[in-house]
Chain A
Amino acid sequence: MNDRRMVIGKTVVHALCLLPALALVRMYFNGALVAQADPVSYITHFTGNWALWILLADLAITPLRRLSQRAGRQGLNVLVRFRRMVGLYAFFYATLHLLTYVLLFSGYNVPATIAGLEAGRVLEPWRQLQLIWPAILDDLQKRKFIQVGLASWAILFLLAVTSPRRALQAIGGKNWQRLHRLIYLAGALGCVHYWWLVKTGVRTPWKVTAVLTVLLLIRMAFWISKGAKSAPRRQATQRQGAY
């Protein structure tokens, strides 16, 4: 794929990934958001869902490419070049999700913060955070679903900061790849986070869980078949070395 087409492709992916966030902004300005019965809960679910969906889309890229290679088609190889970008968008929505929890869910007083800033009290955001900090700490210590959710975000954060090419060069390709396999863990923790959040008997998280399971199974199938193939290849290289 040439550069021009790549630019177009990237623009399209950017636009697609930004669309949900823009929809939310639009809902804010046209009043649809506050007309929701529970706007905070709406934003929480919205950002959480999109973080998970985009993460799953990201995880689907490699299996799709591999499967298409099996089918003898090279066309989908280009997908790999979007992998980092899509992953960063998953991190973006996960961060919005986390910010929603801290700034809207936990009882953080946003109007007071704004009023304080307008009155010239620069430390007002910090002061307000201190007020709700005990509640957040309590959640972190006691609530399993918050712990796994935060762990999932922390992984995405780690992968995001190590995503630039320079970081890859610093860490080394092999290590970088190992590190970035944690994305599967992030996806799994995201699903666990969802299951532990809903009431027993409620099965809304089953769809994302099913998709994640299928993606992991495809991965495992490739690993297994790769393991079976790589043994003779190693022998071949040894022989080459002997010559």
Chain B
Amino acid sequence: MMLYPKNRVKEPPASEITPKETYQAFELNRRQLVGGLAATGAVAGLAAAMPKQARAEVKLQNLVTTQYTVPDRATTPEGKAKSYNNFYEFGEEKDDPARNAHTLVTYPWNVKVEGLVAKPRTFEFGELFHLQPMQQRVYRFRCVEAWSMVIPWDGFPLSELIKVVEPLPTAKFVQFLSLENSKEEILPFGIPWPYSEGLRMDEAMNPLTLLTFGSYGETLANQQGAPVRVIVPWKYGFKSAKSIVKIRFVKHMPPTTWNELAPNEYGFYANVNPYVDHPRWSQAHERLLNSYSLFPQVVPTLMYNGYSDQVASMYAGMDLRKNY
């Protein structure tokens, strides 16, 4: 029996918590914390002393293994993937989200699906979670900042959700809106909130596009965009919206956050492309963050992040220099 998501509210049984060799003290869950301890800076010792309370992530049950693997690259250590996040709602530095996102309340959580669909509907998180069996997929993850990771994600294709709500023929794009809540998030000045991202309908329906609930076999850490996000592995990371509260089906290309802020730097498509540089740096190579070496491998970036076979046909005939 799936214990999820009920045991998110209560303290999860110790048997459900994966013991961690490298404890990330900042993953302390607010609800499980004695007030104010997180702010003292002494949390590292605390986490070691009270492992039962140290993690908000819950181990996922009945994961389906898949063919989506990255055999030629080592998986990024979990601690690295969960301490280096661009989640600007929780601060502008990459270690900010891991430090600050404990204030995110991920339960209860609703995802409203609206717009040009025959069956608009608000999904209570549990309904969404149980819509399909959870698959584990290891994807390359390429940030627009020219670093990359290899991460095992847990979720199911977004297309499964799209089929349920039955989009109308007029729906050409899908927009994702992330949580905007000034009580739980920092929401730095200078970026228009809520965070908005979008995909063309065929991109959203592509089997690679994953509605993601977990990573490394457990529910998403808050700083990764808990409790539900998308992962679009052939695009730069910022396309993969986090902590989604609304999915909207629209006729026209929706406004997206980074594209609005710097249209010359971040296109709507943002497909990983070694031949089209970011105006301020080259995209031909990437720093592979999947080891504990001081000298990380710098490897050539792959077209569509190595997913050409599955996605290139969607962009046939398009000028990728214009539609970056």
Once the chains bind, are A38 and B280 in contact (CB under 8 Å)? no
Q: For B42, list chain A residues within 8 Å (CB).
A: none
Q: List chain B residues, Cβ under 8 A from A39.
A: 293-294, 296
Interface residues of B in 76-129 (CB under 8 A from A): 79-81, 83-84, 88, 92-95
- Which of B187-195, B226-234, B312-320 lies at the binding interface? B187-195
Within 8 A of A (CB), among B24-68: none
**Cβ contacts under 8 Å, B84 to chain A:** 37-38
Docked-complex contact A202 and B285, CB < 8 angstroms: no
- Distance A30 CA – B206 CA, assembled complex (angstroms): 45
The number of chain B residues touching the other chain, given as a range, is: 20 to 34
- Whether a CB of chain B sits under 8 angstroms from the CB of A208 is no
Number of A residues with CB within 8 Å of any CB on chain B: 32
Whether A201 contacts B147 in the complex (CB less than 8 A), given A135-B285, A143-B280, comes out as no
> Does B160 sit within 8 A of A, measured CB to CB?
no
Q: Among B262, B281, B289, B298, point to the contact of A107 (Cβ < 8 A).
A: B298
Given A37-B289, A38-B84, A39-B296, CB of A203 within 8 Å of CB of B277: no
Whole-angstrom CA separation of A15 from B220 in the bound complex: 44
Contact B280 A145 (CB under 8 A): yes
CB neighbours of A135 from chain B (8 A): 282, 284-285
Nearest-neighbour CB distance to chain B for A104, whole angstroms, equals 7
Q: In the complex, A40→B285 CA distance in Å?
A: 15
Flag if A200 contacts B289 (CB, 8 Å).
Answer: no
Within 8 A of A (CB), among B215-253: none
Q: Give the shortest distance, in Å, between B256 (CB) and chain A (any CB).
A: 13
Are the CB atoms of B80 and A203 closer together than 8 Å? no
Cα distance, A135 to B258, chains bound together (Å): 27
Interface residues of B (CB under 8 A from A): 22, 79-81, 83-84, 88, 92-95, 147, 188-191, 258, 261-262, 265, 277, 280-282, 284-285, 287, 289, 292-296, 298
